[in-house]
Amino acid sequence: MSKWATIAKHEYLTNIKRKEFLFVTFGIPLFMAAIMGISFLFMGVASHNEVSKIGYIDKTGLFETTNITNFTKYTDEGLARKDLIANNLTNYFVIPENYTATGRILIYSSKKNFADNINIEEKIKNFLLANLLKNEPPEITRRINQPIISEYFTLNENGLKNEDNGITILLVPIVFSLLFTLSIFTSSGFLLQGVVEEKENRIIEIILSSVSHKELLQGKVIGLGALGLTQIAIWLVVAASLILINPAILLAVLSQIHISIPLLLYAMIYFVLGYLIFASIMAGVGAVATTSREGQQIAGIFSLAGAFPLMFAQFIIFSPNEVFAKALSIFPLTSPTAMILRLSITDVPLYELMISLILLVVSAYFIMELSVRIFRASLLMYGKKPTIEELIKYVRQG
């Protein structure tokens, strides 16, 4: 086994047993599941205990409560108001004489609650539609209540290209962006912390007596990259396990998702190249920093760059061919996330894709080489942070 592979194996096996890794990996899913479970429990209790009793005053003479439960007709608004205050009603509404011309409805309640207002308004809407359409055929009623069930298709000169929908458009880029960001904050964070700790504890002297700087850096990048991917894989397995508890939900989701194989391949390529760039940057930062806190502060700037496209995700989704979106998809620090967002939404010209990939590959190579030189120049400077002039000097000397 080569030396870098031995280092990669050591970094992976050592860090996967760390309490911090285990806590973040298993604690986050458990915490999220607990929060969601408690939320659904409270929502279920609230919906179970709260039964809407709605009164109405019809000044048009068009509406009746036939086959509609929990609606009570009043001829006197004063009586409806009295029942509302006495909590015999949760709401009542008034249908004015000019309702058919204006659509205006006056709704009254004894307490102010935004969520309840949305629920009550939906029930009143269904009540009004049921009365307005009572003489229409059932199929007309269904279509008015659900006027569209959409299916999107993309066509080109060769015919049907693929089938799209909202879930397809948003699922892949959002999942990829989150996974890429998590990879930066986990794998690169461990890499940064490990380099600084070994430098502070002077363990680095022993390591460098048997391996080169480049082999050490490569081993750390690959080993901790595998650790980050393992963490992401665990989260995906946990998510899949939760979905499999109810197979009906899984089948419903899968039936609505149509992900193209080329998009997945591009996502994997951008993921790997993007991680190499950020991991190399973190290694260089760790070598320059004199303390863990200082390293984290410097690394935060680069981590922010990796998450930058997420801040403008809405703009990229709705304007994928604007100059700003194109620039983000070409600049190496933002292209892994921004380009996948664009590829999921629009047809990116081949030349833009090639420019983005070439710049990413070239940047990954040069940043790796630059990090190796900074790594070599800085690791043995204990307690002393090299100046910019010193770093430039060592980089030029190779």
Q: Examine the pLDDT at 20 and tell me if it is beyond 60.
A: yes
* Whole-prediction pTM: 0.65
Q: 5-19, 257-271, 360-374: lowest mean pLDDT where?
A: 257-271
Residue from 217, 254, 144 nearest 379 by CA = 217
Identify the pLDDT of residue 48. 47
Identify the pLDDT of residue 302. 78
Tell me: the pLDDT tens digits for 241-277? 766 666 655 555 555 555 567 877 888 888 888 888 8
Give burial (CB, 10 Å; 0-12/13-18/19+) of 240: exposed
Per the CB < 8 A criterion, the answer to whether 243 and 237 are in contact is no
SS3 370: helix
Share of the chain above pLDDT 90, in %: 13
Per the CB < 8 A criterion, the answer to whether 199 and 381 are in contact is no
SS3 203: coil
Residue from 88, 3, 7 nearest 53 by CA = 88
Separation of alpha carbons 269 and 30, rounded Å: 31
* Ranges for all domains in the chain classified under CATH 3.40.190: 52-145
In the structure, what pLDDT confidence band is assigned to residue 96 with cuts at 50, 70 and 90? Answer: very high
Identify the pLDDT of residue 80. 92
Give burial (CB, 10 Å; 0-12/13-18/19+) of 67: exposed
Q: Examine the pLDDT at 324 and tell me if it is beyond 90.
A: yes
Mean pLDDT of the chain: 77
Architecture of domain 52-145: 3-Layer(aba) Sandwich (3.40)
Which one-letter DSSP state was computed for residue 385?
P
The torsion angles phi and psi of 217, rounded to 5 degrees, stand at -65, -45
Question: Side chain identity at 370, as an amino acid letter?
Answer: L
DSSP string, 267-309: HHHHHHHHHHHHHHHHHHHHHH-SSHHHHHHHHHHHHHHHHHH
Identify the pLDDT of residue 370. 83
> Between 323-330 and 350-378, two packed helices, what is the crossing angle to 10 degrees?
50
Residue from 345, 348, 338 nearest 312 by CA = 338
Share of the chain above pLDDT 70, in %: 71
Q: 56-65, 301-310, 341-350, 385-394: lowest mean pLDDT where?
A: 385-394
Residue 168 vs residues 25, 146, 235, 262, 263: alpha-carbon distances, Å: 27, 22, 21, 14, 11
> Which has more pLDDT, 314 or 176?
314
Question: Side chain identity at 202, as an amino acid letter?
Answer: R
Separation of alpha carbons 261 and 43, rounded Å: 39
Tell me: the pLDDT tens digits for 97-136? 999 889 899 999 887 766 677 788 888 888 888 888 888 8
Average of per-residue pLDDT across 275-297: 75
- Strand 91-95: give its sheet, edge to edge: 71-73, 54-58, 91-95, 106-109
Residue from 398, 366, 14, 361 nearest 213 by CA = 398
Q: Is 329 left (phi over 0), alpha (psi -120 to 50) or beta?
A: alpha
Average of per-residue pLDDT across 34-39: 67
SS3 57: strand
Residue from 181, 279, 273 nearest 232 by CA = 181
Per the CB < 8 A criterion, the answer to whether 162 and 208 are in contact is no
- Count of beta carbons in the 10 Å neighbourhood of residue 118: 9
Tell me: the pLDDT tens digits for 178-213? 766 776 677 767 777 777 777 667 676 677 777 777
Which one-letter DSSP state was computed for residue 387?
P
